[in-house]
Amino acid sequence: MKATHEHEWEAAPGLPSALPKGERVVWQGAPDWRSLAVHAFHVRKIALYFALMLAVQAINLTAPEGGAGMKPLTVVDWKPLVVAAGLYAVALALLLGTAWLSARSTLYTLTNKRVVMRIGIVLTLTFNLPFKRIAAASLKPHARGMGDIALALNPEDRIGWAHLWPHQRAWHISQPQPTLRCVPNGAQVGEQLLNLWRAERAGESLRMADASSAPASQAPHQQGMLA
């Protein structure tokens, strides 16, 4: 039986072409879909909003037409509330399904020369980000060891925000930052990226900044600093 993988056109999983001589795969991984649903698709916040809307609707349905108190529950027409709850459930299911599909179709690759991001559910895109074109990076840790690793490119390099979504750093629209979203063992992967970056650009000052503790505007942008 011939071994195959989902993306038949790839030379190897996550790689659009065979690696040149001297380049090797060091790490591959994909987003955790549950963490992606929470942090990229904001399912938890949207669910809380829907719950609040249902509570307000329930209060309005049980409020009497005049005076204080509430209607007897047996005479309340609950149909609008049931319909709204059903629509909200469908919306949340669609978001969860999109997060699952996004994680399933994504593969991040670190080689000793570059970062490769294969993303896209319907239209698959592959971005090759050589370490020489990466000016800075930041790590945003999440629960259960997950983490976002955002990559700031050199000023002359730019990838469209819409092309990256949801694999981009939030609120960086004019200069989007490709981001490895919700990767397991995010701190270890970030350290591995740092070491690979250092090996490729020997002699330059490097550090990995914590995106959750330092605003992006304060992150250094000097050439050769991983911040």
What are 170-180's pLDDT values in tens digits?
989 889 999 99
Cα 192 to Cα 33, 112, 151, 169, 188: the distances in Å are 22, 10, 14, 20, 6
pLDDT at 215: 40
Residues in the chain: 227
Distance between CA 8 and CA 13 in Å, rounded?
Answer: 9
Report helix, strand or coil for 39. helix
pLDDT at 4: 37
Domains, the chain, ordered by start: 38-102 (no CATH), 110-218 (2.30.29)
HSE toward the beta carbon, residue 197, CA cutoff 13 A = 26
**Range list of β-strands (E), the chain:** 25-29, 107-111, 114-119, 125-130, 134-141, 147-153, 179-183, 209-210
> 112 and 21 in contact (C-beta within 8 Å)?
no
pLDDT band of 223, cuts 50, 70, 90:
very low
Please report where in the chains the tokens 């740092």 appear, as a residue.
194
> 92 and 43 in contact (C-beta within 8 Å)?
yes
What are 135-188's pLDDT values in tens digits?
999 999 999 999 999 999 998 898 999 999 999 999 898 899 999 999 999 999
pLDDT at 227: 41
HSE toward the beta carbon, residue 55, CA cutoff 13 A = 6
Q: Does pLDDT of 212 surpass 70?
A: no
**Residues 6 or more apart whose Cβ sits within 8 Å of residue 69:** none
pLDDT at 203: 60
In terms of Cβ atoms closer than 10 Å to its own Cβ (0-12, 13-18, 19+), residue 147 is: buried
What are 78-121's pLDDT values in tens digits?
899 999 999 999 999 999 999 999 999 999 999 999 999 999 99
Supply angle C-alpha 110, 176, 19, rounded to 5. Answer: 25
Q: Does pLDDT of 218 surpass 80?
A: no
Closest CA to 174 of 194, 188, 153: 153
Amino acid at 83: V
Q: What does pLDDT average to over the chain? A: 85
HSE toward the beta carbon, residue 105, CA cutoff 13 A = 16
Q: Does pLDDT of 3 surpass 50?
A: no
pLDDT at 213: 47
What are 16-55's pLDDT values in tens digits?
888 999 999 999 999 999 999 999 999 999 999 999 999 9
pLDDT band of 1, cuts 50, 70, 90:
very low
Residue 139's CB is within 10 A of a number of other CB atoms, namely 21
The predicted model gives 65-78 an average pLDDT of 71
pLDDT at 39: 97
Please provide residue 197's backbone torsions phi and psi, each rounded to the nearest 5 degrees: -60, -45
User: Rounded to two decimals, what is the model's pTM?
Assistant: 0.82
